[in-house]
Structure 1
């Protein structure tokens, strides 16, 4: 049963004025039909008012109206999807800080799946990554509080805190029968989102751990440094365990490697949520052979970049299927200093693929592993000859890179693929 707001009885109107923002009752949102905005389910409103009154009268402890209303709004948003949330002033400020790249906490991106709080990815060089937390670890409790009793935003707020304080988590890892308890020390998370190095002469490595407002500028500087010694013959763009971040940053990073074509578009109910982002002719690395590494911890903005470069045939996507967070959240400030994080649209790759709950499928599947060298039969070599000349010791950084390639099978395979692409390219000339 639905009735226009103007025909509701006076008590119901007073309850509505208490429970809902008056602006929503006074005028429809732009882009929505008048009937959609004005029609209110009277029976459900009356039930809501009855529940509100019974809690006030009969709950074991007295609850003030403000708390009940905040909880109602939180519940209203949390039931929509895992990423919509009502943000109090502290949570709103915390969200703004995280997009700028500095906040207090353990350095972890979380989400919910099947009503379980789950690690999407730990951020590089933070307490979470150093403690060995992995993508898809289930967080059962935070400081002894079961997470099934917390909203996503409440869990995030509980995990953040003053630097130097400890945080106790109980996690359950896939394939393990018993939960494990870990204690981490909070830090100021000043996450430089971009790292780079040369894997071998001519072959660069660009790691983006998340997309912040400064990420595109950092990526451009990193590429300039990599190319100073000699022109790049290949580049590994590592987006593994990248939880996403700022949409515009992802668009600008993709634009570094593209000189034309669509990068991503969004579709939502309102006209201002329907957007297209395309590459500009001016680009920094349009021709460098490229391998993009992804895994189940690559989400949102990371999937936008991987999907764009894959659809535009700009590089080879390697690794395992990405997370599949293809929804757009808009952060809306409220007049009371608090905020609203609301899912307003979905992302689509240039070829029209929805990222939501689908993710990006790699062109070449390579699972996580470690490279082990098989034992070979003993053969006579120069080093076995008496009086042989000794070679100079390889530089320490080169030894560390070789060890990284042995420890990171996906990265090793990405480098091998880049070399193979160059061999094929030279033979075609």
Structure 2
């Protein structure tokens, strides 16, 4: 059974104890429900009886008179999604399949075939892409293949992707339809699939880059391993590091906190505050900078959101790093994932987060210390938190604010390296003019 997950975005997987303990009890009998007070209060625990009656009337009317039949499950799922819709864009209802996919994206590993699939009409799964080197790819499965049966049983919307999962070391038989070929069977052995979130490379002797594509349960450990590897390849130490967070949508809050802690010796990393004051939290750093004070540059763009902004804000406010790039996305809210007993889940906005200098960047973003403009070679669409319909209004948000830019390619990396070398005291020699 999944645990509640605290996210700073898309944010250890630790139980969200405050919310788990305060889950509403089963509704009492009708004659025990309090009637709503004349003036409605958002803090009242009374069930709004008259509104419930209105809902039941509409529910029954749709079930009995709508032009096409709808099951009770379909109607209730639609009702719950409608309930979430008017909150904010990050509060959503997950059915079981969506909840499992979300779990995979935050855990960073699962047991299965190493293949991304999409449910299709007509009881089949379409293979979007097999993971390079994974069991599905080694078995010869290709993008565009259709899975029409698993172990001889037809695919349905009820089992979907779950039918492909299973204990590592167990085999599964897939019936595949490929183009106009006759359907054929492929046997694939399930394995433990690791979804990496960190990549590394040396930019110049002494100066490394770590690319973080998302924050999941394994990210902090991957970051530690990347730093150790870069040090080893450079005589045991680094003169500086670029952390590339471009187009990183966020993920687990704890992963961003742990990465910040790796680079800081003391001070506040981030704090969260919401309506349930017992759940307010302050995260602080502990001694042990893995770079021993070597300069750090954090590279961001408008796609850097949520947990990315937690990391960038913590290192910027503490003076541990310089931020280079574009204004970030501006998602300063925290979500808690609340699992339901039927396998579904609710991702609910429960708090705002604040940088060490008590900044709320909701709807605003992290302003870089060094601003970079895009090269103009690709179409650049401004898209940020403040532009989302129904977004949670930021405390410091101003009307008419513009967003940042998407920064692609090596130009931003070159700019980040230049700033890093300046921080490290490395001067670039001026090229001498060639003699004529």
TM-score bin, normalised by smaller chain: 0.5 to 0.7
Does structure 2 conserve the Cα–Cα contact (< 8 Å) formed by 1:258 and 1:314? yes
Determine which of 64, 77, 80 is the counterpart of 1:70: 77
Does structure 2 conserve the Cα–Cα contact (< 8 Å) formed by 1:106 and 1:160? no
Cα offset for 1:44?
A: 2.9
Cα offset for 1:35?
A: 8.3
* SS class of match (2:216): coil
Return closer, same or farther for 1:287/1:266 CA change in 2, 3 Å cut-off.
Answer: same
Determine which of 220, 226, 230 is the counterpart of 1:226: 230
> Is 1:408 paired with 2:410?
yes
> Is 1:423 paired with 2:421?
no
Cα offset for 1:86?
A: 1.9
Deviation per residue, 1:249-294 (Å, 9 max, x gap): 1101011110000000101111343111110112312411111000
Does structure 2 conserve the Cα–Cα contact (< 8 Å) formed by 1:194 and 1:209? yes
> Is 1:352 paired with 2:355?
no
Q: Tell me the TM-score normalised to structure 2 length.
A: 0.62
Structure 2: gaps of 5 or more residues: 1-22, 35-40, 118-130, 133-158, 166-173, 178-191, 378-407, 428-436
Does structure 1 conserve the Cα–Cα contact (< 8 Å) formed by 2:324 and 2:371? yes
> Is 1:207 paired with 2:214?
no
Could you say which residue in structure 2 is the equivalent of 1:249? 255
Could you say which residue in structure 2 is the equivalent of 1:182? none
Could you say which residue in structure 1 is the equivalent of 2:90? 83
> Matches of 2:193 and 2:374 in 1, distance apart?
27
Counting matched residue pairs gives 302
Determine which of 335, 349, 361 is the counterpart of 2:367: 361
> Is 1:56 paired with 2:58?
no
> Matches of 1:189 and 1:24 in 2, distance apart?
42
Does structure 1 conserve the Cα–Cα contact (< 8 Å) formed by 2:335 and 2:349? yes
Return closer, same or farther for 1:310/1:67 CA change in 2, 3 Å cut-off.
Answer: same
Could you say which residue in structure 2 is the equivalent of 1:23? 26
Cα offset for 1:91?
A: 1.8
> Is 1:265 paired with 2:267?
no
> Matches of 2:27 and 2:318 in 1, distance apart?
42
Deviation per residue, 1:325-384 (Å, 9 max, x gap): 22111111222232221111111111111122211111111123399xxxxxxxxxxxxx
> Matches of 1:58 and 1:339 in 2, distance apart?
30
Determine which of 36, 51, 54 is the counterpart of 1:47: 54
> Matches of 1:220 and 1:207 in 2, distance apart?
13
> Matches of 1:47 and 1:21 in 2, distance apart?
21
> Matches of 2:27 and 2:54 in 1, distance apart?
20
Does structure 2 conserve the Cα–Cα contact (< 8 Å) formed by 1:106 and 1:189? no
* SS class of match (1:61): coil
> Matches of 1:302 and 1:267 in 2, distance apart?
18
Deviation per residue, 1:125-155 (Å, 9 max, x gap): 99xxxxxxxxxxxxxxxxxxxxxxxxxxxxx
> Matches of 2:356 and 2:287 in 1, distance apart?
17
Structure 1: gaps of 5 or more residues: 1-19, 29-33, 108-124, 127-156, 167-187, 372-405
> Matches of 2:281 and 2:261 in 1, distance apart?
16
Cα offset for 1:105?
A: 6.8
Cα offset for 1:21?
A: 7.0
> Matches of 2:97 and 2:109 in 1, distance apart?
15
Q: CA RMSD in A?
A: 3.6
Determine which of 335, 343, 346 is the counterpart of 1:337: 343
* SS class of match (1:39): coil
Q: Which has the higher helix share?
A: 1
* SS class of match (2:87): coil
> Matches of 1:364 and 1:161 in 2, distance apart?
49
Cα offset for 1:189?
A: 8.3
Return closer, same or farther for 1:367/1:63 CA change in 2, 3 Å cut-off.
Answer: same
Cα offset for 1:424?
A: 7.3
